[in-house]
Amino acid sequence: MSESILPNPEKIIAEAADFLPLLGTDHIEMLVGNAKQSAFYYMSAWGFQPVAFRGLETGAKDEVSYVLRQGKITLVLTTPLNSKSPVNDHLRDHGDGVKTVAFWVADARKSYNETISRGAESAFEPFVRKDDDGEVVLSGIKTYGETEHVFVERQNYSGLFLPGYMAWNPDYKVEDTGLLYVDHMVGNVDWGQMNKWCKFYAEVMGFAQIISFDDKDISTEYTALMSKVMSNGNGRIKFPINEPAKGRKKSQIEEYLDFYEGEGIQHIAVATADIVATVTALKARGVEFLYVPDNYYDTVLDRVGDIDEELAVLRKHGILIDRDDEGYLLQLFTKPVMDRPTMFFEIIQRKGATSFGKGNFQALFESIEREQEARGTL
């Protein structure tokens, strides 16, 4: 596979017309009850590497944050240091969860002005943060629930993460698990709110809808949901948005909304180039995945055709397979990674496919329903 070095005129025109060029996911900030222990979990179980720290030792009085990285994925874990921090309100309402999805941009002021002029609600106005390594411009807007998008302009900064952070170099070192980048991040929104938020991503952020599922695509005997996938101009940021649909019992989306006490990020899909190696490593370190019934593998090849991997290996790990017009993909979902049944991770390896695993929804939701039943929330 080779990539042309000649500029693609269509791509250049598309990017010129994109009023909000996003260069990628800069970082994801989670507000958590105990950042020190969460950081240890993401290091020891997930293979994230320690990068930077902000807290009492750097002069921060109200919150402490740990920055971890693997591939292009940067996680920030933040905990309040006293009862006055507003982080407490978020934790009381939502438990641990994603507060911020930050984008890497070339111009954080322009990103703010373009989105505010199109109707975004401000989270905070553009401001400059400086230290000896240079300066970063940050601005923020609100999206669904209490989630925020932050624009990070960092071309004049050479430090590890953001000004105000110090290097964090614990003796404890772990091997990574092969995670490369954020493939997509899914939001759960309230009844009847999906179209409102798709319109927000289209009108305020210039995203386009690339896929839509309704409750006929995604329903089991008991539960249903609807979903639309929004993508930015260069396709680097993809946000599926789910809302619940009427089913015979409570859907996993309703369970999320109940326990998160509002709308928010449901799952973060992270890409790997070798899902068998990644999942083997994660399982060995204690990450728990959803169980797929063994009979899934009896018929899956009739649906997806030939694949490079040995079916027995995928069956052993419970890795799911789906195909679209462009190729196939392998994916697997963790159980929720916090005690409230809210956020989880997806591990995904794309082998040409650009879709999201629609062919697996049935098996997946039945698997989630078994977990819901055990929690008494179905």
Shorter beta-carbon distance to Fe ion: residue 55 or 240: 240
CA-only gyration radius of the chain, Å: 21
Residue found by looking up tokens 């169980």 in the block: 291
If one counts every other C-beta atom within 10 angstroms of the C-beta of residue 249, the result is 15
Shorter beta-carbon distance to Fe ion: residue 127 or 291: 291
Spatial separation of the C-alpha atoms in residues 181 and 269, rounded to whole Å: 9
Which residues of this chain interact with Fe ion, rule CB under 5 A? 269, 346
Q: How far is the CB of 319 from Fe ion (least distance, A)?
A: 14
CA 167, 168, 173, 177 dihedral sign is negative
The residue among 136, 67, 131, 127 whose CA lies nearest residue 106 is 136
Spatial separation of the C-alpha atoms in residues 322 and 306, rounded to whole Å: 11
Shorter beta-carbon distance to Fe ion: residue 115 or 231: 231
Q: How many angstroms separate the Cα of 198 from the Cα of each of 108, 131, 285, 346?
A: 23, 38, 37, 22
361-375 helix and 252-260 helix, angle to the nearest 10 degrees: 50
Q: How far is the CB of 185 from Fe ion (least distance, A)?
A: 8
- Strand-pairing partners, residue 127, are 138
Q: How far is the CB of 350 from Fe ion (least distance, A)?
A: 12
Q: How far is the CB of 48 from Fe ion (least distance, A)?
A: 20
The token duo for 158 is 């050479």
Shorter beta-carbon distance to Fe ion: residue 162 or 269: 269
Q: How far is the CB of 333 from Fe ion (least distance, A)?
A: 8
Shorter beta-carbon distance to Fe ion: residue 194 or 269: 269
Q: How far is the CB of 266 from Fe ion (least distance, A)?
A: 9
Shorter beta-carbon distance to Fe ion: residue 297 or 361: 361
Q: How far is the CB of 265 from Fe ion (least distance, A)?
A: 11
Shorter beta-carbon distance to Fe ion: residue 206 or 357: 357
Spatial separation of the C-alpha atoms in residues 268 and 27, rounded to whole Å: 12
344-351 vs 264-272, strand pairing mode: parallel
